[in-house]
A = this chain, B = another copy of it.
Amino acid sequence: MTAATGLSDSPLRSLLGYRLRRAWIGIRADLAETLRPLDLRMLTYTALVLIEANPGLSQARLAGLMTVERPNVVAIVDELARRGLVCRRRDPGDRRAYALDLTPRGRALSRAATEAVERHEARLFGALSAAERRAIDAALERLSERL
């Protein structure tokens, strides 16, 4: 019962999926706000960080890391490359694939964005106790096994 309105979402409140959705909507909106001043979205930020951590990464492997289908990576890398943040080289060992790397500008933006994202995480999740945090991590780990 949402006390103020007298409305009931009780049949859904027992569903973890329903509550995760509500949380995710809020988190996503706050993350979008956090990244907007840097002209990044959730997915372009994620790609930036993953390419930095995996020099020479291919788009197919990037898609795997991002949990996104391969076709959706194309526009993301297009945008990052157009802005001079990522450079696409042909992989010498496999001429079908690209070897993706960050440019110096890409590394600088990655650093600035990561600082902003860490502030965002602290703002949202800072109130969680260490025990709560561990419990969530464990639960998400368990969940991943079933998906």
Contacts and interface: CB of A to CB of B under 8 A. Distances in A.
A57 interface: yes
Interface in A5-31: 5, 7-12, 15-31
Contact of A31 (B11, B17, B52): B17
Contacts of A121: 15-17
A139 interface: yes
A131 B22 CA distance: 22
Instruction: Sort chain A's interface into a size bin.
Output: 35 or more
A67 B22 contact: yes
Contacts of A46: 12, 18
Interface in A117-147: 117, 120-121, 123-125, 127-128, 131-133, 135-140, 142-147
A2 B133 CA distance: 22
A60 to B, nearest CB: 11
A76 to B, nearest CB: 15
Contacts of A8: 53-54
A127 to B, nearest CB: 5
B9 A65 contact: yes
Interface of A: 2, 5, 7-12, 15-31, 42, 46, 49-50, 52-54, 57, 61, 64-65, 67, 114, 117, 120-121, 123-125, 127-128, 131-133, 135-140, 142-147
